[in-house]
Structure 1
Amino acid sequence: MAETQVQEGKAPFKIPSIDEPCFTYYKIIGDLSSGAPPVIIAHGGPGAGHEYLLPFADLWQQYGLPVIFYDQIGCAASTHLPQKAGDQSFWQEQLFQDELDNLLDHLDVRRDPGFHLLGQSWGGMLGAAFAARRPRGLRRLVLASALASKELATRGTLLLREQMPPDMQKALDEAEQKGEYDSPAYKEALDFYYRKHVCRADPFPPAELLPALKHLSEDTTVYRTMNGPSPLTADGSLNNWTVIPRLPKITSPTLVYNGEYDTSHDIAQVPFFELVPRVRWITFPGGGHMCHLEGGGLRERILKVVGEFLTHKDIPEAQ
């Protein structure tokens, strides 16, 4: 069994429009000099931080793959920029692409043996866009409960809302019409949505998810500006976002997965499956958006599927 090694650090990140020094916090599980490609883990939210994805640290223990977690700019242990709240021109995909490029260079992981990239939710949206550039060193890509476009994501959310009890649908509609998201009825509907579609762990929320919920509630700058006032109400800078025209450019072998009840609905996965040249798509029965945190054997199955995909010798690498 591989020995567990943990290293933490901060990568300086220069943002041209920001005068103050900024940095990206990272945590490495395993040994980057082991000869195996490290797995870069891009979290969702935007603004959720890396902790809820820590179960993937077991890729080191079980498959000998070093794992690199990081907190994206604006959240958790990286530099916060509350002065940029509401600035939709600032909080764009390109900022996070630049940050990921900067981190890869700081850690010097582009050279042989290269690196893998796993993005969950918004991190998968970023990961697909990043991979479409065919970045040097990228070996394999995992899109975990990602979304091919915000328009498809919204359509998927509406389909899930239509399955909710009528009184909850009414509470959601009234909150959005009035711009009031603090009513008990709205919170009850949102809690129902979270437990059925976001994370189906019982008890809810699981301990690993608590830091993400804390990050998202304590500093709303990134999530509110990029997504909107609620997971069910989108009016942020990502509203017109799409990676669909770029998907045929992805040359890395790609694993796409989502859950049966996932907020990342099947309709938002179809473009990945149809347009990425070398792709495999798995939908996990009984799973939600955070199925790597869920019981019933889901957590173990996902780690096995991801670990085997990243280490399987018979998959041709990108040319």
Structure 2
Amino acid sequence: MAKIPTSEGQIPFQIPGENNISCSTYYKVFGDLARDAPAVVILHGGPGGGHEYLLSFAELWPRYGLPVVLYDQIGCGASTHLPQMEGNKGFWQESLFVAELDNLLDHLKLREGPGFHLLGQSWGGILGVAFAASRPRGLRRLVLASALASMELSVQSIQLCRSELPMNSQRVLDRCEQEADYESQAYKEALTVFHKMFVCRAEPVPAELMLAFQHLSDDRTVYGTMYGPSVFKCTGSLRSWSSIPCLPQITAPTLVYNGEYDTSRDISQEPFFDHIPRVRWITFQGGSHMCHLDAGGLGERVLKVVGEFLMQHKAVALQP
């Protein structure tokens, strides 16, 4: 797996409407952005999970000649943290991260020449849909990896997963949630069972995914404010979010994928397939929410499917 970036740095980011808050976005580039090939910009999940668990997609550079850009969204990782904004639902909105993505694209000059592709995983898919629906200049192709079309459908998906947990784990979750106890050892153990069944089925848990969990644990400002105290309790600024009305506005060819055991079940993918004009949907058998990290060759299959889909931009460009 390619882990040594060609370049990395910090991009100044001035938050719209917040003249007294100056931030910076940490990014990594794998490959040559000057090459005549669209860069693949990777949008991580969480929100607040950081970029490391998506590093396997850096292999798109040596295998397909596609430069790859990963970055930490503000509020996590090596980008600016804003703990003073915890609980401010008006501040932590999808529009903030769209503005940050716009800023990154402008700084790296990715709208010019061959343009760019977007790959959004989980919450990154929410961000990718919002951005793609604005029909941004330079966007060639969109990949929605275990994303969700609306928070209502996501909650239903997660409840389906929860109903498949061992009864003992379900009882622990029920009891702890009634007591608003999200920090006890019993709750954490039940959550670990959920993670192993539906979030990532690889054993042991990949080190890069452990880094994402660590980011979410070290600073809960973004996740806690936008989502809530637990994956099973959405009370944050995303609570009523839905992409469904804007899906017909996405003109970029789109690949949608999820896993058989994904927390993003098929019900949360169906609107993508029904409403995005140019779309392909794949469900990976045996896959979890982190298909790209799952064992048994699944990660390799995901990379191949994504790489081949993104390379189709060449065939499209050659059409009269």
TM superposition score normalised by structure 1: 0.96
Matched, 1:198 2:195: no
Q: After TM superposition, where is structure 1 displaced by more than 3 Å over at least 4 residues in a row?
A: 313-317
Distance of 1:125 and 1:201 partners within structure 2: 25
Provide the residue aligned with 2:149 in structure 1.
148
Amino acid of the structure 1 residue aligned with 2:226: M
Mean Cα deviation higher: 38-47 or 153-162: 153-162
Provide the residue aligned with 1:268 in structure 2.
268
Partners of 1:208 and 1:293 within 8 A in 2? no
Distance of 2:203 and 2:228 partners within structure 1: 27
Alpha-carbon distance change, 218 to 286 in structure 1, aligned in 2, over 3 angstroms:
same
Structure 1 unmatched ranges of 5 or more: none
Structure 2 unmatched ranges of 5 or more: none
Provide the residue aligned with 1:86 in structure 2.
87
Distance of 2:168 and 2:210 partners within structure 1: 28
How do residues 73-152 of structure 1 correspond to structure 2 at under 5 angstroms?
A: 73-152=74-153
Secondary structure of the equivalent of 2:258? strand
How do residues 224-303 of structure 1 correspond to structure 2 at under 5 angstroms?
A: 224-303=224-303
Amino acid of the structure 2 residue aligned with 1:85: E
Amino acid of the structure 1 residue aligned with 2:60: L
How do residues 199-218 of structure 1 correspond to structure 2 at under 5 angstroms?
A: 199-203=200-204, 205-218=205-218
Mean Cα deviation higher: 104-113 or 246-255: 104-113
Distance of 1:86 and 1:18 partners within structure 2: 20
Amino acid of the structure 2 residue aligned with 1:161: R
Amino acid of the structure 1 residue aligned with 2:72: D
Distance of 2:298 and 2:135 partners within structure 1: 31
Deviation digits for residues 159-200 of structure 1 (CA, Å, limit 9, x no counterpart) = 111111222212111222211112333222111100000011
Distance of 2:162 and 2:75 partners within structure 1: 30
Secondary structure of the equivalent of 2:263? coil
Count of aligned pairs between the two proteins: 314
Distance of 1:240 and 1:175 partners within structure 2: 24
Distance of 1:29 and 1:144 partners within structure 2: 20
Provide the residue aligned with 2:160 in structure 1.
159
Distance of 1:159 and 1:5 partners within structure 2: 39
Amino acid of the structure 2 residue aligned with 1:214: Q
CA deviation after TM superposition for structure 1 residue 20, in Å:
3.6
Distance of 1:82 and 1:268 partners within structure 2: 31
CA deviation after TM superposition for structure 1 residue 5, in Å:
5.7
Distance of 2:145 and 2:171 partners within structure 1: 31
CA deviation after TM superposition for structure 1 residue 258, in Å:
0.4
Amino acid of the structure 2 residue aligned with 1:256: V
Distance of 1:122 and 1:208 partners within structure 2: 17
Secondary structure of the equivalent of 1:139? strand
Secondary structure of the equivalent of 1:22? strand
CA deviation after TM superposition for structure 1 residue 211, in Å:
1.4
Amino acid of the structure 2 residue aligned with 1:135: P
Matched, 1:176 2:177: yes
Amino acid of the structure 2 residue aligned with 1:141: L
Matched, 1:51 2:52: yes
Amino acid of the structure 1 residue aligned with 2:101: L
Partners of 2:5 and 2:28 within 8 A in 1? no
Distance of 2:156 and 2:289 partners within structure 1: 16
How do residues 302-313 of structure 1 correspond to structure 2 at under 5 angstroms?
A: 302-312=302-312, 313=314
Distance of 1:131 and 1:50 partners within structure 2: 20
Matched, 1:41 2:42: yes
Distance of 1:316 and 1:234 partners within structure 2: 42
Deviation digits for residues 278-299 of structure 1 (CA, Å, limit 9, x no counterpart) = 0000000000001101110111
Deviation digits for residues 235-255 of structure 1 (CA, Å, limit 9, x no counterpart) = 111000110000000000000
Partners of 1:253 and 1:315 within 8 A in 2? no
Deviation digits for residues 201-230 of structure 1 (CA, Å, limit 9, x no counterpart) = 111x21111211111111110011111111
Amino acid of the structure 1 residue aligned with 2:241: W
Mean Cα deviation higher: 32-41 or 11-20: 11-20
Partners of 1:253 and 1:316 within 8 A in 2? no
TM superposition score normalised by structure 2: 0.95
Partners of 1:52 and 1:208 within 8 A in 2? yes
Distance of 2:180 and 2:22 partners within structure 1: 36
